[in-house]
Amino acid sequence: MNAAARHVLIILFGLGLLGFLLWGMTGLSPFGQYPGPYGDVLNSVATAERHTLNVVTAINFDYRGFDTLGEEFILFASVAGALLLMRHEQTEQEEACEPHATREPIVGIIDPGASDLTRASAFVFIAAILVFGCYIVLTGHLGVGGGFQGGVILSSAWLLVFLAYGSKPFRQWSNQSALEWFEAAGAGGYALIGCFALFVGGNFLKNVLPLGQTGHLLSSGTIFPISCAVGVEVAAGFVLLYEEFFRALEREQPLRRP
Amino acid sequence: MKFLPYAIAAWLFVIGLYGLATSRHLVHLILCLTVVQSSTYLVLLAIGFRNMPAQAPIFTDVPPGSPAVDPIVHSLTLTDIVVGATVNALLLSLTLNIWRKHRSIDPEKLSAFPR
């Protein structure tokens, strides 16, 4: 199909779809007037039932915990799939280079060439990001935060290592096999906490740990350990992805060796 | 104003679809997919929104039980964003593989049956 016909067709169908969507959305309750009742019920009972102040975290890791387990495994599977694709490609290339094995391996090192001031101040920011990420992971049940957000913040510290110091220190900071273990432990830990409830006589992912006092760090039962497991998994998964993409970047630009 | 956020979400969805259908570059196509995806965030958050004095469903500074927006749509959106980011990484690695195999990432020039 030629490009002009494609544009005309998609504009026609897009406008039709837009009309249908707008027509359907007029049937929703007007913006700013959420009718309830599920959110209101959870808002009123979550703090008393689960001893957590952040209702979003309570829903994520307790009321909707089984659902989040599924989403956690989507994350795990997509990280594993991306790593599998990139590493498969890498071994294929190495096999193709076999006759020239006497040559030294093509591993370029990417150095962004940051100034001394950037290098010095990046160290401070990396420490601050790590502390802030841990804080967000650990206090998901007490205020704004949780495992997903905190894990992404933690992984951004590794990005800053790459941007300020280049790919070699990044490689030293990220032990691949250790990261893989952390990622698997985070994903498996979530499921194991769910199975723990089975052993003490509850349903899967039932909140069986003592709930503690609302507002304390060790409160809210299983929500706190699940949030930590998710934080570890998300951070490790993202750093693994960064590492694999940087490796691909190095292979594409082997001539930039300092 | 009552339906403006929904209308913007519908617009994002359709403009993202337009980009998907007419894209000539796989990375551009993945970015169009994230535009489509972000329209779902907007719809979810707009459905659960409530005017002042309702606040975020986090009762650290306000007593539990004070008026708040719907927390369920927030938790749906939260997991969606993080999972979406890793799925994008998967798609980008697929794009990288396609580039290595075919030396082209124009969907028009890619064939299911390479000669």
> Does the structure show a pLDDT above 50 at B27?
yes
String of DSSP letters for A197-253? HHHTTS-TT---S----TTSSS-STTHHHHHHHHHHHHHHHHHHHHHHHHHHHHHH-
CA distances from A2 to A7, A8, B24, B108, B109 (A): 9, 10, 12, 10, 13
**How many angstroms separate the CA atoms of A230 and A227, rounded?**
5
Q: What are A137-159's pLDDT values in tens digits?
A: 999 888 888 889 999 999 999 99
Task: Give the model's pLDDT for residue A14.
Answer: 93
Of A31, A59, A238, the CB nearest to B71: A59
| Residue B114 forms part of a structural domain | no
Written as tens digits, the pLDDT of chain A (258 aa) is: 677 888 899 999 999 999 999 999 888 888 888 887 888 888 888 888 888 888 999 999 989 889 999 999 999 999 999 999 888 766 666 666 555 444 444 456 777 777 888 888 999 999 999 999 999 999 988 888 888 999 999 999 999 998 888 888 888 888 888 899 999 999 999 999 999 888 888 888 888 888 888 888 888 888 999 999 999 999 999 999 999 888 888 776 654 444
Task: Give the model's pLDDT for residue A101.
Answer: 45
Query: Is B22 in contact with A7 (Cβ distance < 8 A)?
Result: yes
* Chain A CB contacts of B13 below 8 Å: 17, 21
Least Cα separation, residue A245 to chain B (angstroms) = 8
DSSP H helices in A59-209: 65-96, 116-138, 147-165, 167-173, 176-199
**How many angstroms separate the CA atoms of A137 and A154, rounded?**
9
Q: What are B38-58's pLDDT values in tens digits?
A: 999 999 999 888 887 788 888
| Residue B113 forms part of a structural domain | no
Query: Is B22 in contact with A18 (Cβ distance < 8 A)?
Result: no
Of B4, B17, B70, the CB nearest to A39: B70
Query: Is B78 in contact with A56 (Cβ distance < 8 A)?
Result: yes
| Residue B115 forms part of a structural domain | no
| Residue B110 forms part of a structural domain | no
Closest among B73, B40, B44 to A42, alpha carbons compared? B73
Provide the residue type at A91 as one letter: T
Nearest residue in B to A152, CA atom? B82
| Residue B109 forms part of a structural domain | no
Provide the residue type at B96 as one letter: L
CA distances from B106 to B54, B87, B100 (A): 48, 21, 13
ipTM for the predicted complex = 0.85
Least Cα separation, residue B44 to chain A (angstroms) = 11
| Residue B43 forms part of a structural domain | yes
CATH number of the domain residue B62 falls in: 1.10.287
Of B18, B83, B100, the CB nearest to A74: B83
Of B3, B64, B85, the CB nearest to A31: B3
Residue-number span of the structural domain to which B96 is assigned: 4-102
Question: What number of C-beta contacts closer than 8 Å exist between A and B?
Answer: 179
The count of domains in chain B is 1
